[in-house]
Structures are given as structure tokens and as C-alpha cells.
Chain A
Amino acid sequence: MTFAQIPVRNGMMELRDGVEATLLGSQCCDCGERFFVVRQICEHCQGTQLEDIQLSDTGKLYAFSVMYYPPPPPYRGPEPFVPFGIGWVELPEGIVIYSLLTENDPQKLAVGMEMKLTFSTFAEDEKGNEIIVPRFAPCQAV
């Protein structure tokens, strides 16, 4: 029996065949500004005509942290707590997006390193569907 895979948030990514994921965003038809995750209003010019765009699945690490302290509820991560990496990734189209990382050792992360989009199961919903979360992974070791 197979269950569906569902992105953790609407308007954030498209999943195909359980092997590929594409990040989604919006581009403002008035000012051309681009955004990660689909949205209805342009933060730049307040325009309401935005078209859906697909974003690159590679980029460069812009800034990062590793969280060593378990966040209080509603955090639902693994128990016992496992530190997690998180940061900003600059995509080739010139936008920087906020994302979880696969790597949780700061010594193995560096600003400017090449990153690639991966996705993994975060949880199951009540129907048994897999909730999918995007995470960027280093392409090579530091």
C-alpha cells in the first residue's frame, strides 16, 4: 500500500514521483520582484498580479547556524533531541531563501559552499500521508 507525499506547506514545492522536488515561488508582474513560496501580494510594490515560478534546486550557502538547544513546544523534532542545521541559501536567480539543512556540524558548513535541494519525511498525517520538508545539503565536503 502506498501513501501520498504532501509538502509541509502549500505553495512551497511540487513533488513528482517521490524522487524529485521543485521549489515554488512568485514573481510580481508589475515590478518583477521574486519571492520564495507562492504569495498573493508583492512585498515590494504591493502589486496583486503575481505569476507562479519554479526556483533552482541548487545554490550557495549565504549564512548558517546549528541549533543545539531543543526548542520548546510546539517543536516536534526527534527525541532525544538532535541538533539541526539551518540557514540562508542564495539561488542562481539572485534570491536568498531560508531553509533547513541536512548538515548539523558547523565545521562542515561554510559560506559560499555549493548546496543542493533534498527533501525528507518530517511526519505522517492522520491518513498516513508523508509530510515532506525541503532541506539543502552540501554538494561536497568542506
Chain B
Amino acid sequence: MSGIVIAGVGMHPFGRYPDKTPEAMSLEAIQAALEDSGLNYPDIDLVLCGKVVYKKEGEGIDLMMKLGMTGVPIYQVNAMCATGGAMLKLAADAITSGSSEVVLVYGFDKHQGMFQDLGETWQNELGMKASPIAFATVAQRYMHEHGATEEDFARVAVKAHRNGANNPYALFRNEITVDDVLNSAMVAYPLHLYNFCTPDDGAAAAIVCSERAAKKLGIRKPIKIASTVMQTAAYPPPVVEPANQYSVDLRGGAGTPVVTLAANKAYEAAGIGPGDIDVCEVQDTDSCHELVHVEQLGLCSEGEAYHLLRDGVFDIEGRLPVNPSGGIQCKGEPPGASGLGQACEIVWQLRGEAGPRQISRDARTGLCQVFGWNHVAAVTILQK
């Protein structure tokens, strides 16, 4: 891999915009990405549009009514909360295949509440598949296996808000304390309200092109896509990974997390190892999953992440900054856009354009990781 770069990125802030359509937010993100790349819409020869929950048919296709009828093929993509990462993979594949040269990927959503209809009808009627439960069950098992506490999960949220306070694209821009988290309502034991990401609105966009096209088009600040991988579960899955599993047969040993499967392929394709990652944005659906995903990515050993967090390793001044954007704990999660929001942040960090939340260390390689319902994950490694 890969000969492919991100030529430009743009975001509409994530948050609550009841009077603004997702289409309007998308246009702002797309125009920001075009401007960042120096390209114009007619340069685009493939469009991928991601959305998960917003209910209106044809949004992606409707783009031609806003930006012009250039004849470009437009596809809508849904890979649940992994949609952004999945689109980067599709864009890279389209370029590698030779069928496309300059791809616009953008995602948006209006996300009003928790997922509650992910299972069979009877399970949904009994509340068994309300999404916080699946993540909380992982957190409870993590506490049991590794000795972490609710305070440790609270520290993740505190760190997230310290970063989010400096992010103009974030929903929550206030600092909080461990006590604030522990005093917020228990949603699903052992996770409190402030441990969870918040469903909200927003849009993000990226222009992806071949290195050759980047040179030809005079792209000023390209960031390389060293590798990008999309992955679903390979049997056997782990027991408590958020998914629609009825049962797991443990006689053959516990399964490998889908994030680990994706990460291993991504490191191999990029020709690097986890030790080469300088900064990362990981799926923090809840505070515990920020830690779990850092471990599943091989960035530290199992059960080690909450110790490293206490030691400040994941702070923006630390050795391995994690979620310098504040993550979706602070930005909120419009699932169609959240993965591309990660890519925007890593591009800005690698270019040194992140302003007051710019990480202290000089970063060459960054990683984006998304995880979605029912064992789906995507990992993208970016390099300057």
C-alpha cells in the first residue's frame, strides 16, 4: 500500500442543530474539504455518502442538485458506526483498481437517541438490545478481569473533556471532574451518563486521491493513507463484544476481537507495527471502550490501558495521545460522519494544524479506528 493520499478534509461541527438539515451540514463539510484540497467538485470522479440513522431516502444522490450534475457516480454506504472507516477503504479500493482517481467521501447524520432495535423483535420489546447494555457488559467484565474501577472510566471522560474543551467541532466544550462523572446518572452499570458518547448531528468530508493525481493536481498538503481495512467477525467472536450473538462456544478458546483482526491487517499492509503509531483516534462509544480499543489495537497490553491513562500517556502532552479531539464522548456521534471526523483530526494533527489541542510530540504516523454494532470495525493508518 498504497500510493493513495487524503488531499483535503472538512467538518461541520458535531452538535445539536434542530433547524439545520443534514444536507446543509454536509455541503459545508464538503466545501471545506474541497477548499482544503484546492480542488473543485468537477475534479471528483466518485462520491461515497455515509449515513446510518437519518431517515430520508436519496440524500447522497441529491448532492447533484446542490453541487452540479457532473455525471459522477454516487453511492450511499452504511456500515453502522464503522461507516467512515469503511468509506475510506472503499475509496482506496476504487483508486487502486484504477476505476477512480479523485474520490469525495462524506458522511452525516441526525442521531436522536440510543439504538434500541438492533435485535429480534422480542429482544427489542424486552430492551435486551438497547445499545448501552452491550457496552456496559464489556466494561463490567473489564473491571472483573483487570481490576479497573468506575473512577478509572471517569478519568477517561475527564481526559476527553480536557481535549474537547479546545475543539471547536465538539458538542461538549467544558472540562469536568471525576466526581462530575460519578455523580451523573447511572445509565447501564457500571457506566454513567458522562461515560457515554452522545448521539447528535454533524457532517465530515475527505477528498481521497492517488499520489499521482495529487502531484498532477498540485495538492498542497497531502497525507498518505498507509493502509485501510474493514473487517467483520471471524468465528469465534469474543463473548462480550457488542453484537447480536446469542451464545459463544468457549470450548475452542475465546475469539479474537474484530478490532484486533482489522489492526493486524492494517499494520501489515502499512509495513509498520503498533509501536510506530504516534497519535490515534479510537471509537469511544463509552469511556471503557476507549481503553479496550487501545488494547485491542495492540498499542499496549491487555489490562494496561487504564494504568497508562492514569500516568498521562494518553494526554495530548503524552507519549501516545489518544483522542486529542475529545472523541465522540465530547464531539457526540453522528454515526455516518464520526469515522471521517477521526480522519479530519488525524490529518490536522499530522499537519500541525490542531491549534490549542495540537499534540506535543512530533507525529509522523496516526491511526483511526471505528467499531460498530455486530462485530464491525475499520482501521486506517495515515502518514505524513
Contacts and interface: CB of A to CB of B under 8 A. Distances in A.
A62 B238 CA distance: 12
Given A36-B246, A69-B132, A111 B144 contact: yes
Contact of A68 (B120, B124, B188): B188
A90 B250 CA distance: 9
A106 B121 contact: no
B127 A71 contact: yes
B317 interface: no
Q: Is the interface of B mostly helix, strand, loop or mixed?
A: mixed
A67 B127 contact: yes
Interface string A25-42: 100000001111100000
Given A9-B120, A63-B144, A75-B127, A95 B248 contact: yes
B189 to A, nearest CB: 4
Interface in A70-96: 70-77, 84, 86-88, 90, 94-96
B130 A67 contact: yes
A18 B365 CA distance: 62
Interface string B299-330: 00000000000000000000000000000000
Contacts of A44: 235-236, 249
B130 A75 contact: yes
A34 B8 CA distance: 49
B114 A71 contact: yes
Contact of A69 (B124, B187, B249): B187
Nearest to A37: B246
B235 A68 contact: no
Nearest to B134: A65
Interface stretch (B64-72, B135-143, B171-179, B222-230): B135-143
Given A69-B188, A74-B117, A63 B127 contact: no
B189 A106 contact: yes
Contacts of A95: 247-251
B154 to A, nearest CB: 17
Interface string A102-126: 0000100001000000000011000
B126 to A, nearest CB: 7
A96 B113 CA distance: 30
A8 interface: yes
Nearest to B186: A68
Interface residues of A, number: 42
A73 B247 contact: no
Nearest to A55: B247
Contacts of B360: none
A100 interface: yes
Contacts of A37: 246-247
Given A68-B186, A72-B113, A96 B248 contact: yes
A133 B116 CA distance: 19
Contacts of A111: 140-141, 144
B249 A88 contact: no
B140 A64 contact: yes
Contacts of B248: 95-96
A21 interface: no
B116 A35 contact: no
B130 A71 contact: yes
A63 B138 contact: yes
Interface in B104-132: 113-114, 116-117, 120-122, 124-128, 130, 132
B249 A34 contact: yes
Given A67-B130, A68-B185, A86-B133, A62 B246 contact: no
Contact of B235 (A43, A71, A86): A43
A40 to B, nearest CB: 13
A91 to B, nearest CB: 9
Interface of A: 8-9, 25, 33-37, 43-44, 62-77, 84, 86-88, 90, 94-98, 100, 106, 111, 122-123, 133
10 contacts: A9-B120, A68-B185, A68-B189, A69-B132, A70-B127, A75-B130, A87-B140, A88-B137, A95-B249, A97-B246
